[in-house]
Structure 1
Amino acid sequence: MSEATHSTGRLHNTGPGRPTWTHMALAVSNVDATVQWYESFTHLRTLARHEDVDGRNAWLADPDEKSRPFVLVVGEFYPGHDPFAPAPHHPLGPFAHFGIELPSREAIDEIAARGKAAGCLALGPVQMAKDIGYICFLKDPDGNTIEFSYDQGVFETARDIWQVAV
């Protein structure tokens, strides 16, 4: 440990200069199966993996968002090591979900067809109201809902309101 780390008590040298949304976390039954699913059905890739006596986890993120990373943490507790036990870990759904906006209707149709073939399509593809767009829902290996949308407007609205150039 460096002298600076030791004297400040910090383990890491870099952090945000202001409050920053960095991650969401899900308890999963099998980290490897979950990582394989997310890397197959989404644009997320493994950023890091960790393991200790209580369990193991993986951090998944968009490799093209290096300057403002947002991480999906998936954690598997070993039997008898879940600090939240006996409380159950409920999956996201049916409405609670992670949302991923795709660039075309065809991309929604393709991910829905792949999800159907894999047995994890939960809804759609379907055209919803204008602020929802063309969507489909898939379920990950633990039953969490992942929404894929086209023309939903979340991306555009945030950029328009906060005046960010594309």
Structure 2
Amino acid sequence: MPEAGEESGSGLTSARWTHVALPSSDLDASIVFYTSMTPLVVVAVREDAAGRSAWLSNEGQWRTPFVLVLVDFVRERGARHPIMTPFAHLGIEVPRRADVDDAAARARAAGCLHWEPQDLPDPVGYVCALTDPDGNVIEISHGQRVFSTVRDLWGPRG
């Protein structure tokens, strides 16, 4: 059964949320950060006269893909432009509380832990945050239920 906004076997029939794009001062360092500190994988890397870009997403998430686009513009190469700080952030929900602790331990060892793991009131849950090579904040959460709230609202019943 097709999802809202899609025809069976063809393409898009209505608007859809697809990606967030952020500048990167060092695309290779950003790729290493996101593929080692988060569950994201590289979907595509592109290069043209303006610079390089990388698309990252959850592996195998083809029904509801959402992509983080990182762009390293030639004219700004090496210039940091943190966009998501101090509170603005990208959120990644993980299936186990221990996954938050694991992410925090990796980030602590790498010197990029932004918030220590903590329990916050509903609906936030158990969270920590990391800082990417450009200073952007990435929240790792368990129990926040952002994904399940949307699925419960519009997903199949019974």
TM bin (shorter chain): 0.7 to 0.9
In the alignment, which residue of structure 1 is the partner of 2:17? 21
**TM-score, scaled relative to structure 2:** 0.85
2 CA distance for matches of 1:114 and 1:21?
A: 30
**Paired residues, what number?**
147
Matches within 5 A, 1:1-20: 15-20=11-16
Identify the structure with the greater strand proportion: 2
Q: 1:56 to 1:18 in 2, by over 3 A?
A: same
Q: 1:137 to 1:43 in 2, by over 3 A?
A: same
**TM-score, scaled relative to structure 1:** 0.82
SS of aligned partner of 2:13: coil
Say whether residues 1:136 and 2:128 are aligned partners. Answer: yes
Residue type at the aligned position of 2:26: N
Say whether residues 1:60 and 2:60 are aligned partners. Answer: no
Greater CA radius of gyration, 1 or 2?
1
Say whether residues 1:37 and 2:33 are aligned partners. Answer: yes
Residues 26-58 of structure 1 deviation map (CA, whole Å, 9 limit, x = unaligned): 001011110111000111111111111111111
SS of aligned partner of 2:75: coil
SS of aligned partner of 1:143: coil
1 CA distance for matches of 2:105 and 2:76?
A: 39
Q: 1:31 to 1:80 in 2, by over 3 A?
A: closer
Q: 1:75 to 1:19 in 2, by over 3 A?
A: same
Q: Which runs of 5+ in 2 are unaligned?
A: 1-9
2 CA distance for matches of 1:80 and 1:65?
A: 32
Runs of 4+ in 1 over 3 A off after TM superposition: 163-166
